[in-house]
Amino acid sequence: MDRDQSPVATTTPTTPPSPTLLRRLINLDTTLSLHLHTLFQPVPRSLLKTLELAGDGRFFFPVAVSLLSSSSLRPILIPLLIGLLLDLLLVGVIKYIVRRPRPVYNKGMHLTVAVDHWSFPSGHSSRVVFAAAFLYLSTALIGEAVAQLRSTESRFGSDDSGKAVDFIVLIVCLWSAATSISRVLLGRHFVFDVVAGACLGVLEALFVFHFLRY
């Protein structure tokens, strides 16, 4: 027997490392988003695109600026505009840092509002949720503004103007929810993008309402 013969090396199979918590969340987000996008295909795409356009900043800013001529509404509209600019800045910075690509099944975006190719967070969601949350927090101020308009223009408003303001705020909140959901159904964003955008919008509304009003 040859004693100089080297022993045969044996290798033990290694198990691949388990995915991190972040990777598991991303995989869950991707799977859930695709499932919802596929499940709600029967929803008219024209309706979803209408919500998309209505939540675009190029629609928001002109409408808000056009209403600044009313001195009664300025205490509400000026903080609203500042908040929209703040939202634009924060979303842009976060998207640049995170750089999460949009879903691969995102189709036709270049025909509407393709400002960037990054997905996290959803700018539409943060924008519309900010507007809805700020208006909700400002319900009393809106009521006061309506009362001032009623005192200057007898044809404006009614004795039930307070209920009308509450109804309008409710409609805006429902619209913001529908717009946020439409981002996933259109394939523009993942679910977590929309959730993060909505949370950002609420934080912006709280900040603007408490610190940037005059």
Please say if 35 is a catalytic residue. Answer: no
* Residue 109 structure tokens: 């975006």
**Could you tell me how far CA 168 lies from the centroid of its own chain?**
20
Pick left, alpha or beta for residue 149 (phi over 0 → left; psi -120 to 50 → alpha; otherwise beta).
alpha
Q: Are 185 and 38 in contact (CB under 8 A)?
A: no
Active-site residue (options: 35, 110, 124, 210): 124
* Residue 53 structure tokens: 């356009």
Active-site residue (options: 37, 110, 117, 189): 189
CA distance 139 to 133: 10
Query: Which residue type does 119 have?
Result: S
Please say if 117 is a catalytic residue. Answer: no
Q: Which active-site residues does the annotation give?
A: 124, 189
